[in-house]
Structure 1
Amino acid sequence: MRHPLRMAMAALAMAGGAGGARAGEDPLAAHLWTRRVLVVSGPGPDDPGLRAQRQALASARAGAGERDLVTLEAVGNSVEAASLRRRLNLPADAFRAVLVGKDGGAKLQSAEPIPPERLFATIDAMPMRRDEARERWR
């Protein structure tokens, strides 16, 4: 079974091979009003914060899918990484994690990996998420 988190990460990787985000385009536009996005940024693939965030998310896949949460990584100096960092005003030389709501706005930002419990609590407190939960129980 395919998981939304893996599919989103694969889609981002494929977008990089196809040219990725063009100058002036919002790299998060494809997710607007459909998904929440956790953008994880690190200077390189071996960044300890990046590794810790990946590990934390690996144990929370079901909760992420239930909350329409996908993860995009801005790692290294690719065009896509630079575009995501520019969009969210993130440094290229340090770890950052940013939760972006379905409306495209940053809801939570951290210089440390964000535990899934904190991500989910933040999402579950959002008015749109509360509406979604009510609709699912009807």
Structure 2
Amino acid sequence: MTRLAAIFIMLLSLTSPAVSAQETDMTDAIILDGKTAELSQFKWTHRPLAVFADSPADPAFIRQMDLLNADLPALLDRDVVVLVDTDPDAKSDIRRTLRPRGFGIVLIGKDGGIKLRKPVPWTVRELSHTIDKMPMRQQELSERR
């Protein structure tokens, strides 16, 4: 019950997407409220990962958030911003665009295209592997060298 309460409190305290790890806590920097976010604001700057559930008490949602929180630096390194939406009645922009059913995750590339859609929780390692195979990520890595 404590973990559920912590996740619920985290969802209530989400900030608007003025994202910078230096300005705020890392969690606040990359885990945002999906009800107020628009996918277009992240085009060419971030890779949105939309996490959907019909309730914050959904066991798959709780598992997914635990998996993401376990390795936030890896997500930050890959310019991932997590958009959380657990209210199907809110009819958010990301829900209208991505049309989820129950729990699911959707990874969107910097170009705005859907790169991955899964109905089960994924680890940060699995997500990182998928992102690292993307051509734009390969280009980012080669430019760093």
Select which of 10, 15, 31 maps to 1:9: 31
The answer to whether residue 114 in structure 2 is matched with residue 106 in structure 1 is: yes
**Closer, same or farther: CA 122–5 of 1 in aligned 2, 3 Å:** farther
Aligned partner of 1:64: which letter? Answer: L
Aligned partner of 1:96: which letter? Answer: G
Aligned partners of 1:5 and 1:69 also within 8 Å? no
The answer to whether residue 137 in structure 2 is matched with residue 115 in structure 1 is: no
> Structure 2 CA distance, aligned partners of 1:62 and 1:78?
32
Q: CA deviation at 1:78?
A: 5.2
> Structure 2 CA distance, aligned partners of 1:126 and 1:73?
23
Instruction: Provide TM-score, normalisation by structure 1.
Output: 0.80
> Structure 2 CA distance, aligned partners of 1:67 and 1:76?
27
SS for the counterpart of 1:52 is helix
Q: Which runs of 4+ in 1 moved over 3 A?
A: 1-5
Aligned partners of 2:55 and 2:86 also within 8 Å? yes
The answer to whether residue 82 in structure 2 is matched with residue 71 in structure 1 is: yes
Q: CA deviation at 1:47?
A: 0.7
Q: What is the identity percentage for the equivalent residue pairs of Structure 1 and Structure 2?
A: 33
SS for the counterpart of 2:55 is coil
**Closer, same or farther: CA 4–103 of 1 in aligned 2, 3 Å:** farther
Aligned partner of 1:9: which letter? Answer: I
Residue number in structure 2 paired with 1:30: 41
| Alignment: residue pair count | 123
SS for the counterpart of 2:128 is helix
CA shift digits 1:76-113 (9 cap, x unpaired) = 1353x53212111212xx10101111011111111100
Q: Extract unaligned runs of 5+ from structure 1.
A: 22-26
Aligned residues: CA RMSD:
1.9
> Structure 1 CA distance, aligned partners of 2:75 and 2:31?
13
The answer to whether residue 59 in structure 2 is matched with residue 82 in structure 1 is: no
Instruction: Provide TM-score, normalisation by structure 2.
Output: 0.76
Q: Extract unaligned runs of 5+ from structure 2.
A: 1-21
